[in-house]
Amino acid sequence: MAWLGKILGGTLGFALGGPLGALVGVTLGHNFDRASRAGRNRGWADHDLLDAGDPADFHESADFLDPRERTQTAFFTATFAVMGHLAKADGQVTRDEIRLASRVMDEMQLSGAHRQLARRLFQEGRARDFPVDDVLDQLRRECRYSSHLVTMFVEILLHAAFADGTLHARERALLESICARLRLPAGELERLEAMVRAEHHARSGKPSDALSPADAYAILGVEESCSDAELKRAYRRMMNRHHPDKLVAKGLPEEMMRVATEKTREIKAAYDRLKEVRGL
């Protein structure tokens, strides 16, 4: 959790700048203020501290120059803050939505100050003046325009939206806006929604319940009428898109590898179920 330690130390949030860096600053309070003062002592202006520019602009410390740590910080910060914003979309934050956020923290094995930071980010996202568009714009830049990382971000949000068993109209409208801001292709939200809905349905069933073919097709993102070859290509594509090591290399926080690993497990289970159904 080296990058998380740097957040708590006030360094990575300070280096990140922009609305995401400001969010880290708000949640850390005096630590961020101390880092800001240190920056001004080195001759940086206030606008430099809050500018989401190129990380190479920060020459004072090698710690500021790791692009993967910047991406990890941005992804972590945006995930919990936007999750809180989404939870507020339908008018109230339910116990299920709080439980979902806690489950993500559990999967990341967050505890102590790290867990407190995630909770505070979730609370900041619920604020009326939360700058969601600015946060999403910076997230897209910090992810270096990786469609796989951005897609994983939306999938996590969809699971949060389905935490109470229903995707409310306001939640879906906000998700549409989020996808548009992140410049995901038209129709991508519908595909992801069908996939996450099927995963949620499968997770909520009894352990002894067999995965339904309909849910399996939705998880792989193909129609029942697809050929065996198309099914195999879809499986390989989905496994490649959610491969934990590849996502971490692009900037997914290592602590979220378990989230990606669970996704690949569900994808494999869906493919195995359809191979059984088709007699492959």
Give residue 180's identity as a one-letter amino acid code: A
- The burial class, CB within 10 Å (0-12 / 13-18 / 19+), for 246 is middle
Sequence-distant (≥ 6) Cβ neighbours of residue 88 within 8 angstroms: 125, 126
Looking at residue 206, its pLDDT comes to: 58
Sequence-distant (≥ 6) Cβ neighbours of residue 271 within 8 angstroms: 216, 220, 231, 235
Looking at residue 85, its pLDDT comes to: 92
Give residue 146's identity as a one-letter amino acid code: S
Looking at residue 40, its pLDDT comes to: 38
Per-residue pLDDT of the chain (280 residues; tens, 9 = 90+): 567 777 776 666 667 888 998 888 888 774 444 444 444 333 323 333 233 333 333 333 434 557 888 898 899 999 999 999 998 886 666 677 777 788 788 877 787 888 888 899 999 998 889 999 999 999 999 998 788 999 999 999 998 888 777 888 898 999 999 999 999 998 899 999 999 888 888 777 656 567 889 999 999 999 999 999 999 999 999 999 899 888 888 888 887 888 888 889 999 999 999 999 999 8
Single out the residue of 55, 78, 63, 48 nearest to residue 138, CA to CA: 78
pLDDT tens-place string over residues 86-137: 988 866 666 777 777 887 888 777 878 888 888 999 999 988 899 999 999 9
**Residue 60 φ/ψ, nearest 5 degrees:** -75, -25
Looking at residue 75, its pLDDT comes to: 93
Give residue 87's identity as a one-letter amino acid code: A
Looking at residue 33, its pLDDT comes to: 44
